[in-house]
Structure 1
Amino acid sequence: MTETVNQAAPHPFNLARFCLTGAGAAADKPALLVAEGPKGRIIERWSYGELREAVLRVAGGFAGYGLPRGSRVLLRVGNTSQFPLMFFGAIAAGLAPIPTSTMLTAHEVEMILDDSGAGLVVGDGSGVMPAPRAGVGVIDAAGMDRLGAASAVDFADTGADDLAFLVFTSGTSGRPKGVAHAQRVGLGRIPMRAGWHDLKGDDLLFHAGAFNWTYTLGVGLMDPWAVGATSIVHLGDRPPGAWPDLLEETGATQFAAVPGLYRRILKYADITPGRFPALRHGLTAGEALKAALHGEWVAATGRPLYEALGMSEISTYVSSGPAVPTRPGSPGKPQAGRRVVVLPPEGEAPDAQRPMPAGDTGVLAVHRSDPGLMLGYWGLPDETAAAMRGEWFLTGDLARFDADGYLWYEGRADDQMNAFGYRVAPEEVERALAAHPDVAEVAVAEAQSGDVSLVTAFVVLQAGAEADAAALEAYAAEHLAEYKRPRSYVFIEELPRTGSGKVMRRALRG
């Protein structure tokens, strides 16, 4: 292990300083390229010197509001170069930004504002804003320009365990739940360099996601800048067929996206091993990568595709990469330096903190000492405590390790289905059905049929394939125990997904 996840954080430690100065990139080196149009024409170029200066000017503008250290700043900013300036500018000022999707409704925005107690709302007009309220300042697009014209200040002398930012995820109660991250989250990302993306200073990383998503914030901004590499973003529509041209025109050496986008690129784009020659490899996270899709991408492009498993509470911590050979169907191994185990399901073992042996399925857990682990759920001490079992943070994922140390994901604990008294992970059923040559995508969930709940497979067919439930039933009979087999097959045009590309099984349950 060349870099340790548990290295002591210096004091002071500011995440913005860590990302923008830690690699010692030359002031004139490109830090951010902004492209637009189907051919990826570069319309903005930000050097490291320009980016650092702009961030510290925004920090100076925020400092003028006189907010206490750690005050929250709600960001309603679109996917433009203004987003990273506002996000890192707030952190540089010692404030805690809250990135949000511009697609949120007014009701959702109001709930986040209520829950976070944000003292400032910054919006560029690309998404709805909360109603005016006493004690909450509002910065519009013109105000953002004034922030960027302020006098620069130095990075705030925050501590490693001070609040850096909040992200809100879907809560089990139907209300958004804030995940509070510390400044030290930058240290928690170091193991990804050797264990997943292998980012180097001369890389150009193109991320397909929006900035408000933690996958993009981390892999698309924090990681490239922490090693002095270049981040690429794109404005406007990006149809699947345009991605080969975008990757070629921008010279991207790494591409990050969700599995669903890789599938659509293969379906709609002209792909050969000679396309986008600068690309070293692709990265994928956000949902499980099916083995068949992995094989199709490698065969079509001649380039590897590396998967990672993570979550908003800790980002990615299990992955494959240049130093961790891929094993299709598995996201890989725990990154070097991380303490990751599978614990017994609650109540099923006398020692609930004793790791289970290889081959046994249990609850995936990460040790609380990991610097990438959240501080907790904002304002929810009981939920934070419930997520811990002694020294271990329970991810809510079910998984098992094989004899070689590879992790096999078995789904979310709350996605578990009950079939004839057996607990069944939808991912296990999906993995089997996805290998059928007629299946492009599949999601499995318990769906209501009259008064009964049936394990149902929702299937997206390959182009030209016929909807043949009997054929899929026969295939399932060859690959799955009887109690794991779907009792119903529904053929649909596409799977419902969140704005970040994750399959919404709850929408399928009906």
Structure 2
Amino acid sequence: MPIPDDRLPPPRFNAARHCLADNARLRGDKTALVMVGEGQASRLTYAEADRAVRGIAAGLLGLGLKPGDRVMIRMGNEADYVLVYFGALAAGLVALPSSPQLTADEAAFLMDNAGVAAVVVGRGFDRPAEAGGRLWLDAEAIAAMKAGEPLPDYADTAADDPATLVYTSGTTSRPKGVLHAHRAIWGRRPMHAHWLGLTETDVMLHAGTMNWTYTLGVGITDPWACGATTVLYNGPRDRGVWPGLIEAHGATIFAAVPSVYRQILKYADLAAHDLSGLRHGVTAGEALSADLLAEWTARTGLPLYEALGMSEISTYVSSGPTIPVRSGSPGRPQPGRCVAILPVEGAPEPLPQGETGLLAVHRSEPGLMLGYWQRPEEEAAVMRGDWFAGGDLASLDADGYLWFHGRNDDLMNAMGYRVSPVEVESALAAHPDVAEVGVTELAVRADVRVIAAFVVPRPGATPDADALIAWCNERLAGYKCPREIRFLEALPRTANGKVQRKRLAEP
């Protein structure tokens, strides 16, 4: 049951043109992006964004980059991040967004693995020896491109041409690249009506940073695809800042992970702010607990719509304006999606309602990735006939609502990022005081799970938990590091000697 033809993008399709060209023509003076920091907010209109993006595209091509070359973005939460991202797409290049939290070694792996041709950096990033002969572009270089002669038109790319390469955890100790086509932005369209309730009149305030695909997608790409306005915050960390920003900027939709909503309820003075313009909140990245949903709804009187997704396809199951909230479930497959539950073993034939199996999406879905970058073995592992099954265990009830039953593998969820325990274990195993280590998620509250490492010390060693966490911080991005270290005499293993990670968290 493939996706119907009327849901497929046109054969020639450029994602950056889709988000900017018509907006620049029809509503050029409208604010596209607001960056709020310590000082006065900076604003970018659609005409300015379109001009800057085409200027960057021309500048990148003028340096000799060819269609399909990878451009790594290594910046903090600044407006140029999104302009460079869309500039690469506008030029027919492949954008590789990365996190500023990555260590030098992690960033060097991405450069080498992706065969990066150019690295665009923001403030505070010096050129490392690992950069080799790659083009290294700083803020001054990008400013010159924005001021230069723009590309007359967006690249004439095919819908299936590669556009974005994002890295996520795989089954090995190194991340894997998820390669998306230009059509992935077209594939997001069911989210607009059925999860976000997004139209051109909306103001979207997103609590994330630009390097996160949740922010690049929901916070920027979706509003721009609809002609709406995006508001992002890059000021000092303040858990209670969001209600004030909602009021000050007239936000109609607020997007964040569940933990941010919990922080708002705990630290913000909701009564001191006028939230009457806010229609609803949306959340993804982590499971939304029933008690948090109930408290948010009771104290604000506003709906909170959850979505389930992953790097390979973004969010495709949700509640929303057309899908009533059902506590404990992330919602139903969005209308137009082709979703099924498959047996864990055996032929990939969809299971009946109520049975638990692998959550799967049909390969004709336009939002589905092109594949894993140079990882054919992992790609083969997730394709089951005509279905992509990413490892989530779930069931569908009689009303079509999805119920999540965990993972069929050991991948963890850390602040909305998928993290491989193997990657964390490899970092800790290199410590001289560690004989063995197993890593898994640990529930610290009903709706909060953290990465925990269970360490068997070497004979005679007395390692310190804080020192081991500091060791990890030197080798891994912050979101990958364990929040808790526990010491054991031995790790639980199967009869064949394999570490049983899921048993580590047992009392």
| Pair in the same fold by TM > 0.5 | yes
2 CA distance for matches of 1:343 and 1:144?
Answer: 47
2 CA distance for matches of 1:303 and 1:158?
Answer: 41
5 Å-filtered alignment, 1:107-126, equals 107-126=105-124
Q: Deviations over 1:204-233 (max 9, x none)?
A: 001111111111111011100011000111
Partner amino acid for 1:30? T
Structure 2 residue 168 is the aligned partner of structure 1 residue 169: yes
Which residue number corresponds to residue 399 of structure 1?
Answer: 394
Which residue number corresponds to residue 99 of structure 2?
Answer: 101
2 CA distance for matches of 1:505 and 1:188?
Answer: 36
Which residue number corresponds to residue 500 of structure 2?
Answer: none
2 CA distance for matches of 1:409 and 1:394?
Answer: 14
Distance 1:502 1:116, change over 3 A: closer
Percent identity between the two aligned chains: 51
Unaligned runs of 5+ in 1: 418-432, 452-495
Q: Deviations over 1:164-194 (max 9, x none)?
A: 0111112221211111000001111000012
Partner amino acid for 1:13? F
Shift of 1:98: 0.6
Which residue number corresponds to residue 287 of structure 1?
Answer: 286
Which residue number corresponds to residue 318 of structure 1?
Answer: 317
Q: Deviations over 1:302-339 (max 9, x none)?
A: 10000000000100000000110000110000011111
Partner amino acid for 2:160? D
Structure 2 residue 344 is the aligned partner of structure 1 residue 356: no
Partner amino acid for 2:17? R
- Greater shift after overlay, 5-14 or 251-260? 5-14
Shift of 1:450: 8.2
Which residue number corresponds to residue 35 of structure 1?
Answer: 36
Partner amino acid for 1:359? G
Instruction: Please say if residues 191 and 337 of structure 1, whose CA atoms lie closer than 8 Å, have aligned partners that are also in contact.
Output: yes
Q: Deviations over 1:267-323 (max 9, x none)?
A: 111124974221110010001101111111001111000000000010000000011
Shift of 1:127: 4.2
Which residue number corresponds to residue 223 of structure 1?
Answer: 222
5 Å-filtered alignment, 1:31-430, equals 31-37=32-38, 42-127=40-125, 129-131=127-129, 133-153=131-151, 154-272=153-271, 275-346=274-345, 349=346, 352-415=347-410
Partner amino acid for 1:15? A
Shift of 1:139: 0.7
Instruction: Please say if residues 8 and 366 of structure 2, whose CA atoms lie closer than 8 Å, have aligned partners that are also in contact.
Output: no
Structure 2 residue 449 is the aligned partner of structure 1 residue 443: yes
Shift of 1:446: 9.6
SS for the counterpart of 2:129 is coil
Distance 1:129 1:14, change over 3 A: same
Shift of 1:243: 1.4
Shift of 1:25: 4.0
Shift of 1:80: 0.8
Shift of 1:21: 2.7
Which residue number corresponds to residue 460 of structure 1?
Answer: none
- Greater shift after overlay, 15-24 or 250-259? 15-24
Partner amino acid for 1:29? K
Instruction: Please say if residues 450 and 482 of structure 2, whose CA atoms lie closer than 8 Å, have aligned partners that are also in contact.
Output: no
Structure 2 residue 22 is the aligned partner of structure 1 residue 16: no
Count of residue pairs brought into register by the alignment: 437
Distance 1:416 1:17, change over 3 A: closer
Partner amino acid for 2:93? L
SS for the counterpart of 2:262 is helix
| TM-score normalised according to structure 2 size | 0.80
- Greater shift after overlay, 137-146 or 310-319? 137-146
Distance 1:502 1:138, change over 3 A: closer
Shift of 1:65: 1.3
Shift of 1:7: 2.6
Distance 1:288 1:63, change over 3 A: same
Instruction: Please say if residues 76 and 129 of structure 1, whose CA atoms lie closer than 8 Å, have aligned partners that are also in contact.
Output: no
1 CA distance for matches of 2:287 and 2:406?
Answer: 9
2 CA distance for matches of 1:376 and 1:264?
Answer: 37
Distance 1:244 1:208, change over 3 A: same
Q: Deviations over 1:469-510 (max 9, x none)?
A: xxxxxxxxxxxxxxxxxxxxxxxxxxx9x9897997997858
5 Å-filtered alignment, 1:451-490, equals none
1 CA distance for matches of 2:195 and 2:242?
Answer: 22
Partner amino acid for 1:14? N
Shift of 1:145: 1.4
2 CA distance for matches of 1:16 and 1:270?
Answer: 39
Distance 1:444 1:411, change over 3 A: farther
Unaligned runs of 5+ in 2: 413-442, 458-472, 487-503
Instruction: Please say if residues 51 and 146 of structure 2, whose CA atoms lie closer than 8 Å, have aligned partners that are also in contact.
Output: no
RMSD: 2.8
